[in-house]
Structure 1
Amino acid sequence: MEDNPFIQKMLSYGEQGWELALSWLTSPAAWSQFALLLVAFGLAWLLSRRINRALRGLLTPAEDADNLLATARRFVLRFLPLMLPLLAYVFTAVGEQVVRSMFDSGAVIAFGKRVFLFLAARILVQRVITDPFLKLLGKFVLIPIAAIYALGLLDTVSEALTEFQVGVGNISFSLMSLVRGLIAGSLLFWLGRWSNDQSAAMISKQRELRPATRQLAVKTVEIIIFGAAFLLLMNIMGISLTSLAVLGGAIGVGLGFGLQKIASNFISGVILLLEGQATVGDFVELDGGEAGTIVKMTARAIILETYDGRWIVVPNEDFIVTRVINYSDQGSANRYEAEFSVSYDTDINTVPAIVEAAVQGHPDVLEEPYPADCELRGFGDSGIDFSVEFWVNGIDDGRHKYTSDVLFLIWNALKDNGIQIPYPHRVVEFKGEMPK
């Protein structure tokens, strides 16, 4: 076990650390630097208390304030816990310059300065950052890096990671590039997601644009943001885009045959957004019988919500290659019919005027493009059949029950005018004597 190179290296680092600690304990210059560290920390503590008290009184907004200025002031207040370690870092840096000019040595105070920076990183993660992803990244990335820097081993660790090379095909990069890429990729992913959410919210507020145009703008911005983030990440990792293009081309040819449907649905989604024939909020019915309100349009599919609360995921391609009935395209009106019958004893010449007046009294029945129209449809077995046509802005289902309302109006109007609605009658003839 003593022959293990890693253990030998750790033992040598331990011996160097012990010798360094002994030299600090027996050196007058080291004791003076310890004293300066205590003075710098005490001065930073006193000054930070005064500054924090003044800034809190100046920047704290009213509890019910929710404007942009109040939000900015609350954001600044979140960083006040960093005041103490940062002031200690600044005062220690000044003291380091003084010590180096006097003793030509500043290892102790430089170590203290790095410790204050580590404390600042720890406070930043624990008390300042609120985003769960950034807090997780700070806990497992920022704090360990700050700890390694505080121990003075950052250059050693960086050299070891840089020397370790990783190769994939024609692409070769160091382990340091991989670590740097993971850190940068995580930050770019969070920044891309945040900027995409902000841009989507801003575009959604532009009510002068058609819903389809807004959806297309949101998708375009999303592609631009994450495309730029990917290119920037490749540059940070030091990967040649030429080599990546060759590798990507080979993978693309292999996966292209299996991803034809995905590509078709993506292109179909772009076409739908450009044409605007279907957008969020429209009630549509597909050739296969699926019907519902469009609640979401993604790069691959459109999600319909039926009136019984189910969500149906329909591939974008189905909206291109099959027939689609859009009942609410640009808010156009829809026509419905309500059928009813009257008794044969009725003067049918009076029925249309009575029913049309009653139906037109409904607040949602339109005058344009046509008012309510009552038509004679036929002479049935039990009564005379009529039908009234009416136009409304909306769908006769879900929250709106236009046909039901119209039938109530017809019933009440006919009853008020003494017109009977028949029920089935049957005439039975007996030949010969009546049965006993």
Structure 2
Amino acid sequence: MNPLDATGDQTPFEALRAIALQLLSQGETYAGIFLRPWNFYQVGIALAVFVVAHILAQLVTPHMREWMRTREGWPAWRLRILIVLQRRLRMIFFVILIWHVIGIMKQLTWPSRSYLLTIIAELGTAWLLIALATRLIRNPTLRLLVRYSAWAWVTISILGLADETQAVLDGLAIEIGSTRLSIWLMLQAAALLIALVAAARFLAAAAAANIRQNENMSPSMQVLSVKFLQVALYGAAFFLALKLVGVDLTGLAVLSGAIGVGLGFGLQKVVSNLVSGVIILLDKSIKPGDVISLGDTFGWINALGARYVSITTRDGKEYLIPNEDLITGQVVNWSHSNEFVRLDISFGTSYGDDPHAVRKIAVEAALGVDRVLANRPPVCHIVGFGDSSVDYILRFWIRDPTGGLTNIRGNVYLALWDAFKENDISIPFPQREVRVLNESLPVARTPD
């Protein structure tokens, strides 16, 4: 009986032992074939071809780099392809040369004399194609994982050990109730999951670009649509991968329900932030680019996340505000319905200055400051008579709060200072008189 056709009468250990014995027998057969004299010659020919390919790559690489430097007007994607090919020149030359050598040998000698070279050529071609194809994967870690996994599986397949390897991996399994989990099943699930997630990521990126170009959708709805699409595609990729490898999703649904209840109690804050994020996107209370104030934090919204909102302040700091705080706290949105923002500054002048002239000079000084709107002219009012000054309030409008509020207030104050100095208007400071009511009080003496 073929050990690969082991029935349920065998224990997993006995099945693995039978498979291992067959692999050992095949290994001895391959070793006997490999030790034939002509196979050593084929290995020597392959090494000679590799050396020639290496020399050719060393000679061509400098010229290719110089040629690429002259391609300044080419698109970036075309230059990236040339860089990838330049880094793989040695393998490219090796594959081209060894297939030509095989073709010549088949014409001059028996096919068996080029059997080992054919295997080496197939391996080299497959490895080269995999290396070039995996460059499309942007994540370095994922790229290496996919590349080495593909290299291993292609090597096993070309060497004719695919069935034996599959049997060994399928024999390493554990059983949980009626579910049997083997290493082969998990590897299949991982490969399918990676492929489907990559496809979902590509589709999500393409759809997100189209959604962001839709001017009929508000920025909040664009973010919500992109997030919903990403969750739907990634979730579909995960469950489809499990379904394709034969995992029963009924038990998984019951398990996920129990896990969901546990997470609901243990991760209340996280769930609250997620729900708050959806509410923020639906009610359009804030959107990317809005200028908001929350407590002592003032800045503009950089991005809306599933759990937090990224706010960038004028000093370059980036605050990650939980979505729940934006729902429950008092938020000042300086650009919610429009971009116009009114600012107030207070000042005082002495009682000897004409208040009519002060008001006129203050308005003209504010109009001379950049960013102060002339179509919504500033106004100045008296708000009270203080102990040492007449108190005023100056109100003016701007339409670019992202440019900062403190700096525009400072510029207006500076313009007032220059205008008052030019027109001899004084800004008083509090003065106090101290009188001694009883001059007959004894003077304290210090001891000698």
TM-score tier after normalising by the smaller chain length: 0.7 to 0.9
Question: Could you say which residue in structure 2 is the equivalent of 1:141?
Answer: 149
Instruction: Single out whichever of 115-124 and 372-381 deviates more from structure 2.
Output: 115-124
Instruction: Single out whichever of 266-275 and 299-308 deviates more from structure 2.
Output: 299-308
Question: Could you say which residue in structure 1 is the equivalent of 2:388?
Answer: 382
Q: For 1:417, which of 420, 423, 447 is the aligned residue?
A: 423
Partner amino acid, structure 2, of 1:144: A
> Where does the alignment leave 5 or more consecutive residues of structure 2 unmatched?
1-15, 442-448
The 3-state SS of whatever aligns with 2:266 is: coil
From the superposition, tell whether residues 69 and 420 of structure 1 become closer, same or farther in structure 2 (CA, over 3 Å): closer
Question: Could you say which residue in structure 2 is the equivalent of 1:118?
Answer: 123
Q: Output the CA distance in 2 between the equivalents of 1:349 and 1:197.
A: 62
Q: Output the CA distance in 2 between the equivalents of 1:238 and 1:107.
A: 42
The 3-state SS of whatever aligns with 1:401 is: helix
C-alpha displacement of 1:207: 6.1
Q: For 1:339, which of 329, 343, 346 is the aligned residue?
A: 346
Quick check: 1:115–1:150 contact (8 Å CA) kept in 2? no
Task: Determine if the alignment matches structure 1 residue 155 to structure 2 residue 163.
Answer: yes
C-alpha displacement of 1:375: 0.4
Task: Determine if the alignment matches structure 1 residue 265 to structure 2 residue 270.
Answer: no
Instruction: Single out whichever of 272-281 and 239-248 deviates more from structure 2.
Output: 239-248
Task: Determine if the alignment matches structure 1 residue 17 to structure 2 residue 30.
Answer: yes
From the superposition, tell whether residues 386 and 195 of structure 1 become closer, same or farther in structure 2 (CA, over 3 Å): same
Give the alignment of 1:310-349 within 5 angstroms.
310-349=317-356
Q: Output the CA distance in 2 between the equivalents of 1:91 and 1:265.
A: 64
Q: For 1:294, which of 294, 301, 308 is the aligned residue?
A: 301
C-alpha displacement of 1:172: 2.8
Question: Could you say which residue in structure 2 is the equivalent of 1:404?
Answer: 410
Structure-1-length-normalised TM-score = 0.76
Structure-2-length-normalised TM-score = 0.74
C-alpha displacement of 1:204: 4.4
Q: For 2:359, which of 352, 355, 361 is the aligned residue?
A: 352
Question: Could you say which residue in structure 2 is the equivalent of 1:284?
Answer: 292
From the superposition, tell whether residues 308 and 170 of structure 1 become closer, same or farther in structure 2 (CA, over 3 Å): farther
Partner amino acid, structure 2, of 1:176: W
Q: Output the CA distance in 1 between the equivalents of 2:187 and 2:438.
A: 106
**Residue deviations 1:29-87, cap 9 Å, x none?**
x99x979x99xx89xx9xx99xx99xx9xx97962224488469748957877755666
The 3-state SS of whatever aligns with 1:328 is: coil
Quick check: 1:96–1:110 contact (8 Å CA) kept in 2? no
Q: Output the CA distance in 1 between the equivalents of 2:101 and 2:225.
A: 51
Task: Determine if the alignment matches structure 1 residue 361 to structure 2 residue 379.
Answer: no
Quick check: 1:89–1:117 contact (8 Å CA) kept in 2? no
Alpha-carbon RMSD across the aligned residues, in angstroms, is 4.4
Quick check: 1:216–1:270 contact (8 Å CA) kept in 2? yes
From the superposition, tell whether residues 210 and 71 of structure 1 become closer, same or farther in structure 2 (CA, over 3 Å): farther
Q: Output the CA distance in 2 between the equivalents of 1:93 and 1:238.
A: 43
Q: Output the CA distance in 1 between the equivalents of 2:166 and 2:273.
A: 45
Quick check: 2:189–2:241 contact (8 Å CA) kept in 1? yes
- How many residue pairs end up in the alignment? 410
Give the alignment of 1:20-419 within 5 angstroms.
20-21=33-34, 63-67=71-75, 70=78, 74=82, 112-124=117-129, 129-130=134-135, 131=138, 132-193=140-201, 195-197=203-205, 199-200=207-208, 203-204=211-212, 209-286=217-294, 289-368=296-375, 370-395=376-401, 398=404, 401-419=407-425
